[in-house]
């Protein structure tokens, strides 16, 4: 397929042409990064807990608990930060 021009809206959104999406198999997610000043997109698939657990060789309940513990620790760590630092981290520095 030849390159196509894609418009960026005022909200920094793009719409990918249907022909491109068909050719890619209609992925619901993409991995994106900038390389040498160009936006690079890769179609990506989100794995379920069951798929991740199977790949890791652990029961899904163990993986879910590990994610929950990680979220609890992050929340506890955020509560311990001074309010100004937490606000900057939350708002992305703006």
Task: Find the CATH number of the domain harbouring 37.
Answer: 2.10.260
Rounded-to-10 torsion of CA 77, 82, 86, 88 = -150
pLDDT value of residue 89: 62
Structural domain boundaries enclosing 7? 1-46
- Cβ atoms 53, 63 nearer than 8 A: yes
Q: What's the whole-model pTM score? A: 0.48
- How far apart, in whole angstroms, are the C-alpha atoms of residue 73 and residue 82? 16
Same domain for 53 and 33, yes or no, is no
Q: How confident is the model at residue 34 (pLDDT cuts 50, 70, 90)?
A: very high
How many angstroms separate the Cα of 8 from the Cα of each of 5, 17, 38, 75? 10, 13, 14, 35
Q: Are strands 29-35 and 38-44 parallel, antiparallel or unpaired?
A: antiparallel
- Answer yes or no: do 42 and 82 share one domain: no
Nearest 5°: the CA angle 71, 76, 78 is 95
Does the pLDDT value for residue 94 go beyond 60? no
Lowest mean pLDDT, pick from 18-22, 45-49, 69-73: 45-49
Tokens standing for 94?
A: 């703006």
For residue 93, pLDDT beyond 60: no
Q: Please check whether residues 9 and 38 belong to one and the same domain.
A: yes
Task: Tell me how many domains the chain contains.
Answer: 2
Is residue 41 domain-shared with residue 53, that is, in the same domain?
no
Please tell me whether residues 35 and 57 are part of one structural domain.
no
Tell whether 23 and 35 lie within a shared domain: yes
């Amino acid at each position: 397929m030849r390159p196509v021009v894609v418009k960026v809206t005022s909200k920094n959104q793009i719409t990918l042409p249907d022909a491109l999406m068909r050719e890619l198999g209609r992925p619901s997610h993409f991995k994106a990064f900038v390389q040498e000043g160009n936006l690079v997109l890769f179609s990506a698939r989100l794995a379920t807990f069951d798929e991740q657990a199977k790949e890791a060789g652990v029961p899904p309940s163990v993986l879910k608990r590990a994610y929950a513990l990680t979220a609890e620790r992050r929340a506890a760590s955020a509560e311990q930060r001074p309010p100004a630092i937490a606000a900057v981290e939350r708002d992305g520095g703006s």
